[in-house]
């Protein structure tokens, strides 16, 4: 995945000033990192608020992405991008692959179940398994 970052090269006496242009590029990259970090924090907060509102319920992944994007006031031109970022966040913080009934990340924040009755749940809201 890549991110497009734009900046303006600095021109002095009809010549591109390389040092000043590199500084401008570096500043643009720093702004992009800060914006992305801030947006990630907004996603984390909005996902938590959604699961608080629908406590204990499984929410289908596409619905979750769309609901959080809407809560973040995403516009038509970036709605799907925001929804995708929400889904990336949830996947990165879910149990991962399950092989031979063993989860990759058993203490994850989210639990994703596929199929009928599936969706994303907060692991903390899942009923406890009875101990034998």
Q: pTM of the predicted model, to two decimals?
A: 0.68
Is residue 130 predicted with pLDDT exceeding 60? Answer: no
Q: Is 70 exceeded by the pLDDT of residue 132? A: no
Q: Report pLDDT for 43.
A: 93
DSSP letters along the chain, please? ----------EETTEE-HHHHHHHHHHHHHHHHHHHHHHHHHHHHHHHHHHHHTTT--B-HHHHHHHHHHHTT--TTTHHHHHHHHHHHHHHTS---EETTEESSTT-SEEEE-STT-EEEEGGGSPPPPP-
């Amino acid at each position: 995945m890549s991110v497009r970052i734009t900046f303006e090269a600095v021109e002095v006496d009809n010549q591109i000033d390389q040092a000043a242009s590199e500084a401008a590029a570096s500043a643009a990259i720093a702004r992009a990192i800060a914006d992305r970090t801030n947006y990630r924090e907004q996603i984390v907060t909005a996902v938590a608020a959604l699961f608080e509102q629908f406590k204990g319920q499984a929410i289908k992944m596409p619905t979750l992405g769309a609901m959080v994007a809407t809560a973040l006031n995403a516009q038509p031109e970036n709605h799907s991008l925001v929804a995708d970022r929400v889904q990336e966040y949830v996947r990165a913080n879910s149990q991962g692959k399950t092989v031979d009934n063993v989860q990759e990340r058993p203490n994850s924040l989210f639990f994703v179940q596929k199929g009928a009755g599936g969706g994303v749940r907060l692991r903390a809201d899942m009923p406890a398994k009875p101990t034998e």
